[in-house]
A and B are shown apart, each in its own frame.
Chain A
């Protein structure tokens, strides 16, 4: 405040800012789920521009300020590049379904395990810690490149970064909790996973990260319950799977929006999916793929020891098939199912290779 003069008992204030505002007389009200982002999408404040010229970090709906400098260098300024219909819903869901790896996992239920099982568990934990770094870092980069006008989508990604941070810490904790430790890094962040970060476009990144990468990891998290040896591991995998399903849901809904609103980009998106299918079983990113470090440890965990490797391998094949089937149905749900009818997809070939 610049003025310290007084006029009688009233301070002499410059109140010019009071007339500077966005639409006034706004009465947003809480709905049945509390006061959610959806409840404040009203009037002009709820209007999301198809293109955004906002380069100054101005909150959507606020009054622009003169002479403001550029902030952020936002490259994502076209709505369809990042939008999804249910962003505010996913964001609230993410906030309300948070959990703590410190207090919500019954760590005391972890008891000493046979050496081979502990080593396999630690190998998986090492792998997952590695990939969770990428799962957090990559969306984070895109958040800072997106105009504040599309804040609903940004908020979901911000919540995802928090989820990935928790996933990273919970698997690290598991590795260090039971007489083992971290194993040799798997290099899972090279190849396809590393490639996610080379994406030139948000949708390219999302199709790689949310649909292919996290879709595969979601199946692994679900399978985690089959390879859990105590309540703590069961809880970790179940709660991680819930988070992961939300991340996958973002990808499916974004691709669906894209397929409905940008038909000209369909061919480009099919090419991202071609690429993902090409490396689904061979890349180190998929622990159920063919990299021995992770696939062997999965088989030991699923079978119940190295002497029951064959039993574990049988379950691993079932995991691979489920990964592929679920991927197929998600791509259909996202609006790109034509690839399975016109012979473009390699999925049938991959199904046949799943048992190799």
Chain B
């Protein structure tokens, strides 16, 4: 793909969504019906990613308060987001310590959180884990540049 997309940005998420929705291998084993609303918290920015049926139906920019309504949200230090995406880009999918589930377990408080504390909804991170993984794995097909974020 010729264009470059900056992470994090709505354009980047839309490009990933496009690849995810149109690539056969992401309909493969472990994927399938997935209905959930996922938040992404990346430094100061908040995004909402919606999955319905067999695809990602929408991505949008949001604010912190909207994280109350998502089933779960992913939150990790910017450097880790960056390392994860670089790992995906180098291997065409996440390997080793950079799969979402491994990242979640590798940190004391995990990367998947919820404001509502309803474990039934938070378990969707596991129930649809392969779908979430496929979504981020799809980023290997786009050219990503990273916004320089100075740690505060």
Verify A242–B127 contact, CB threshold 8 A: yes
Q: Does B87 contact A (CB under 8 A)?
A: no
Say whether B119 contacts A252, CB under 8 Å: yes
- What's the nearest-Cβ distance from chain B to residue A93, in Å? 5
Given known pairs A252-B120, A253-B120, the reply for A92 and B127 (CB within 8 Å) is no
Q: Is the CB of A241 within 8 A of B119?
A: no
Cβ-defined contact, A96 with B32, below 8 A: yes
16 contacts between A and B (CB under 8 A): A89-B35, A92-B33, A98-B32, A104-B28, A104-B29, A238-B99, A238-B133, A239-B29, A242-B129, A245-B123, A253-B120, A326-B123, A329-B117, A329-B122, A333-B118, A334-B120
Find out whether the CB atom of B30 lies under 8 angstroms from the CB atom of A329: no
When C-beta atoms are compared, the residue in chain B nearest to A252 turns out to be: B120
CB of B53 within 8 A of CB of A330, answer: no
Q: How many A-B residue pairs have CB under 8 A?
A: 92
- A→B interface (CB under 8 Å): 32-33, 89, 92-93, 96-100, 103-104, 218, 222-223, 225-226, 231, 234-235, 238-239, 241-242, 244-246, 248-249, 252-253, 256, 318, 326, 329-330, 332-334
Contact of A222 with B120 at beta-carbon distance under 8 Å, contacts A238-B130, A246-B127 already known: no
CB nearest neighbor in B for A103: B29
Residues of A within 8 A of B129 (CB): 238, 241-242
Stretch at the interface among B16-24, B62-70, B76-84, B101-109: B101-109
CB proximity of B110 to chain A, nearest CB, Å: 8
- Taking the closest CB of chain B, its distance from the CB of A103, in whole angstroms, is 8
Chain B residues in 8 Å Cβ range of A89:
35
Tell me the dominant secondary structure on chain A's binding face. Answer: helix
Q: Is B7 an interface residue (CB 8 A)?
A: no
Q: How distant is the Cα of A104 from the Cα of B25 in the complex, in angstroms?
A: 12
B123 adjacent to A242 (CB under 8 Å): no
Given the known inter-chain contacts A249-B123, A252-B119, please indicate yes or no for A225 contacting B101, CB distance below 8 A. yes
Q: In the bound complex, how far is the Cα of B32 from the Cα of A33, in angstroms?
A: 10
A225 and B99 contact, CB distance less than 8 A: yes
Q: How far is the CB of B105 from chain A (nearest CB, A)?
A: 5
B32 touches A238 (CB 8 A): no
Instruction: With both chains docked as a complex, state the minimum distance between the C-beta of A312 and any C-beta of chain B, in angstroms.
Output: 14
**Contact between chains at A99 and B33 (CB < 8 Å):** no
Q: Is the CB of A225 within 8 A of B102?
A: yes
Give bound CA distance, A280 to B114, whole Å.
Answer: 25
CA distance A21 to B131 in the complex (A): 43
Chain B residues lying within 8 Å of A235, measured Cβ to Cβ, are 30
Contact call A33/B33, Cβ cutoff below 8 A: yes
Instruction: Determine if A330 and B128 form an interchain contact, defined as CB atoms under 8 angstroms apart.
Output: no
Cα of A235 to Cα of B29 in the assembled complex, Å: 10
Cβ 8 A contact of A333, one of B95, B104, B120, B133 = B120
Contact of B102 among A226, A231, A248 (CB under 8 A): A226
* A235 and chain B: residue at smallest CB distance: B30
Q: B32 contacts A333, CB within 8 Å?
A: no
Task: Return chain B residues, CB-CB under 8 Å to A253.
Answer: 120
Q: Once the chains bind, are B30 and A104 in contact (CB under 8 Å)? A: yes
Chain A positions within 8 Å of B133 at CB level: 238
Asked whether any CB of chain A lies closer than 8 Å to the CB of B9, the reply is no
Closest to B128 in A: A242
- Residues on B with beta carbons closer than 8 Å to the beta carbon of A334: 120
Q: How far is the CA of A73 from the CA of B104 in the complex (A)?
A: 47
A93 in contact with B32 given A241-B101, A242-B130 (CB within 8 Å): yes
Question: B90 on the interface (CB 8 Å rule)?
Answer: no
What residues on A are CB-neighbors of B123 within 8 Å?
Answer: 218, 245, 248-249, 252, 326, 330
Specify which of A93, A222, A242, A246 is in contact with B105 (CB 8 Å cutoff): A222
Collect the chain B residues with CB atoms within 8 Å of residue A98's CB: 32
8 nearest CB pairs, A to B: A329-B119, A96-B32, A104-B29, A245-B127, A97-B32, A99-B29, A245-B126, A333-B120
Q: Known interface pairs A249-B127, A333-B118, A333-B120. Does A222 touch B29 (Cβ–Cβ under 8 Å)?
A: no
